[in-house]
Amino acid sequence: MITGACYSDTDSSIFLTIAREMLENGRLPYRDLFDHKGVYIYLLNIAALLTNLALLEWLSLAVTSWIAYRILPLVVRPRNNPFELT
């Protein structure tokens, strides 16, 4: 059981709490701490704790935006006139 301050009850807060416990106290996921997500989300949060959390969030936003930009033309057919309603 985690004692002390917990960030909140949202998913990202739980990920950070588990990552901090793994990093600072040597606890292991699924043995000492449990959440149903994969272990990679905790490793990503450990990387965020060791570096800069805001930088990692902006990088994640940039990569997600780029992927959405590349996928969008495959899903939505282009129109000749963008103001034309069909």
Q: What are the tens digits of pLDDT across the range 32-56?
A: 888 888 888 888 888 888 887 778 7
pTM: 0.52
What does each C-alpha distance from 10 to 7, 13, 16, 43 come to in angstroms? 8, 5, 10, 18
Mean of per-residue pLDDT scores for the chain:
79
Q: Give me the residue spans of the domains in the chain.
A: 11-75
What does each C-alpha distance from 67 to 61, 75, 86 come to in angstroms? 10, 13, 27
* Three-class secondary structure assignment of 13-76: HHHHHHHHHHHHHCCCECCCECCCCCHHHHHHHHHHHHCCHHHHHHHHHHHHHHHHHHHHHHHC
